[in-house]
Every structure is written in C-alpha cells, then in structure tokens.
C-alpha cells in the first residue's frame, strides 16, 4: 500500500469534510503540520471541531482557520497568544471546551489505546468536573473523562519511512504521537522520507500501523512564537566564562560573589 502523497492537498482529498472532528499535533508553533493546515484552509471545509493544545497565533497555524471561521469549536488547554481566538470566544462566536493539559493528552492517548474513559483527580471541585461522573477510589474523589477519537489526525514528524514508521524531533514529540494514535485516519507531514529499514527499530517513536497517508514538506517555515534574547550577555565569551567560573567558586566557598569584571572591549 502506497502511503506517500504528492502534496498536502492530495493527502487531504477524500478524507476531510464539513463537520468533522480533527486532532492537530503540536504545541504553540512547535511541531505543527504547517502544510496540512494550509491545505485544510484552502479546502474550504467548515464547521470543524479541532482538538489541539492551542490554536497557534494570529495568521499562522490553526489561527488561519479561525480567521476564516472554519472552526466552530476548539478542544484545547491554552488560548495563549492568539488574540482572534480570545476575541471569538469572549464574543460567543466560538465554542471552547477548556481541558487541563495532561487530561487532554490522556484523552488522546486513551482514545488511541481503545480506552473509552478514565478517572483523574485533575479538575475535581472545579468547573471542569461539572456534569461529569465522580467516583471515590481509596478515599479520594476522581472525575471521569471520556477519551477522544477524532475523525482525522493531522500530525508532524521529522522522518518517516515508506511504511509510515515515524521519528519525531526534540520538542515536536509533544502531542503528535498521541494525536496520531487517536485519529481514525492519520495524515502525517514529514521533512524526510527514507526507505523501509533505514530507521533502526529503537529509533522509531510511532509504528506505521497508525499512519495512513504521508506528505513531504522538506522546508517548513518553523516560526518562533516568541523570541527571547539576553540583553546583558557579555560581548567577550572568554571573559564571560571566567566570570561564571569565579562566581561558582565563590558560591561554593560560601563567600560573596564579586562584581562582574569589565572586559577590554568596554562591554
């Protein structure tokens, strides 16, 4: 069975439709399936329920689908930096099912494992537990949460072999594996495709049994959601190292840390 499709548009064709529930991998802008989200935007499908940690930012990621009103409901744990997400929710234009982050991850994992529901202490005594079954175990109260089994999962991985075995890269291995497992149909966007056998068994993070379609996006944009830089970094790396070593030595000796030494460059 050939799982590789020539484009993101082709990978979505015949799968996505109005009114579906979709799980979208990623955290903020890290590990999001950029090309698949763009193709979903261009497809024009609407009335979607999207399960994702958040909805990206304004004008990028799932934020694009919010702007075009293709999403009617978000199941998420974080509104974050997306002002349009916040505006639509507060204006009553968007349904939102706030879910604790760990509970959201477990809802997807459990759905992929065939577990229909589970009990957790998270949310007990808060609005999260309203209308849900409560049960006592070992003297503690737990709330029952239903698992999630979306119609389609859109995920991002770093490498796939032609059978769909996946390897994720660094922090992108966040919600992507759980989303992939939970979806009835899983479409994955990758930066590299290799032959079967090129991935060592111990290097495979998700087996290909969960993956139905693969599309190559070798050069994703990979935006940084919020860039933070140090404003007080010394210009002289050698001087900075000496200062750090002196500070550590002084702290270990229990004496006061000396004031920073200025370097010869006037920094």
CATH number of the CATH domain containing 172: 3.40.1080.10
What pLDDT does residue 252 have? 65
CB-CB contact of 210 with 137 (8 Å): no
Is residue 49 in some structural domain?
yes
Predicted confidence (pLDDT) at residue 182 exceeds the cutoff of 50: yes
Same domain assignment for residues 42 and 153: yes
222 within domain boundaries: no
Whether 221 is in a domain gets the answer no
What pLDDT band is residue 259 in, cutting at 50, 70 and 90? low
Is the pLDDT confidence value at 101 over 50?
yes
If asked whether residues 254 and 144 sit together in one domain, one would say no
Task: Give yes or no for residue 92 having a pLDDT over 80.
Answer: yes
Say whether both 88 and 202 belong to one domain: yes
Give the chain as a 3 state SS string. Answer: CCCEECCHHHHHCCCCCCCCEEEECCECCECCCHHHHHHHHHHCCCCEEEECCCCCECCECCHHHHHCCCEEEEEECCCCCCHHHHHHHHCCCCEEEECCHHHHHHHHHHHHCCCCEEEECCCCCCHHHCCCCEEEECCEEEEEEECCCCCEEEEEEEEEECCCCEECCHHHCCCHHHHHHHCCEEEEEEEEEECCCCCCHHHCCECHHHCCEEEECCCCCCCCCCCCCCCCCCCCHHHHHHHHHHHHHHHHHCCCCCCCCCCCCCC
Q: HSE-up of 183 (CA within 13 Å, CB side)?
A: 30
Q: What is the pLDDT of residues 210-258, one digit of tens each?
A: 999 999 999 888 877 777 777 765 556 676 677 777 777 766 665 444 5
Cα angle 154-188-219, degrees, rounded to a multiple of 5: 110
pTM: 0.81
Residue 125 lies inside a defined structural domain of this protein: yes
**Residue 266 and residue 146 share a domain:** no
Domain limits for position 252: 229-267
Assigned domain for 223 exists: no
Structurally, how many domains does the chain consist of? 2
Assess whether 191 and 100 both reside in one domain.
yes
Residue 186, strand partner residues: 153
224 falls within a domain: no
**pLDDT confidence of residue 267:** 43
pLDDT digits (tens, 9 = 90+) for 49-83: 999 998 888 889 999 999 999 999 999 998 777 88
The answer to whether residues 209 and 151 belong to one domain is yes
State residue 233's pLDDT score: 58
Mean pLDDT of 148-177: 95
Mean pLDDT of 81-91: 89
State whether 262 and 131 are in the same domain.
Answer: no
Q: In this structure, are 195 and 235 located in the same domain?
A: no
Q: What is the pLDDT of residues 191-202, one digit of tens each?
A: 999 999 999 999
Over range 146-174, report the average pLDDT: 95
**Does a structural domain hold residue 192?**
yes
| Cα-Cα-Cα-Cα dihedral sign, residues 178, 181, 186, 188 | positive
Residues 244 and 112 in one domain: no
| 161 and 239 assigned to the same domain | no
Instruction: Indicate whether 108 and 155 sit together in one domain.
Output: yes
Dihedral pair phi/psi, residue 76, rounded to 5° = -145, 170
Residue 257 in domain: yes
The verdict on 128 and 92 lying in the same domain is yes
């Amino acid at each position: 069975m050939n799982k590789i499709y020539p484009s993101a548009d082709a990978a979505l064709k015949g799968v996505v439709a109005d009114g579906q529930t979709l799980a979208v991998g990623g955290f903020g802008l890290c590990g999001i399936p950029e090309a698949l989200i763009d193709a979903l935007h261009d497809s024009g499908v609407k009335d979607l329920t999207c399960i994702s940690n958040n909805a990206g930012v304004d004008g990028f990621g799932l934020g694009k689908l919010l702007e075009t009103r293709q999403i009617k409901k978000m199941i998420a744990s974080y509104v974050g930096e997306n002002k349009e997400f916040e505006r639509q929710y507060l204006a009553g234009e968007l349904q939102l099912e706030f879910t604790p982050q760990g509970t959201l991850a477990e809802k997807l994992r459990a759905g992929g494992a065939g577990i229909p529901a589970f009990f957790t202490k998270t949310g007990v005594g808060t609005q999260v537990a309203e209308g849900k079954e409560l049960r006592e175990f070992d003297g503690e109260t737990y709330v029952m949460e239903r698992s999630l089994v979306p119609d389609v999962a859109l995920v991002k991985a770093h490498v796939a072999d032609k059978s769909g075995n996946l390897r994720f890269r660094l922090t992108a291995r966040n919600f992507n594996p759980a989303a992939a497992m939970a979806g009835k149909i899983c479409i994955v966007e990758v930066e590299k495709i290799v032959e079967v056998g090129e991935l060592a068994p111990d290097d495979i993070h998700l087996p290909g049994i969960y993956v139905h379609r693969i599309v190559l996006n070798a050069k994703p944009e990979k935006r940084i959601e919020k860039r933070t830089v140090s404003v007080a970094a010394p210009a002289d790396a050698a001087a900075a190292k000496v200062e750090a070593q002196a500070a550590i030595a002084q702290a270990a000796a229990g004496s006061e840390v000396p004031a920073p030494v200025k370097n010869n460059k006037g920094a």
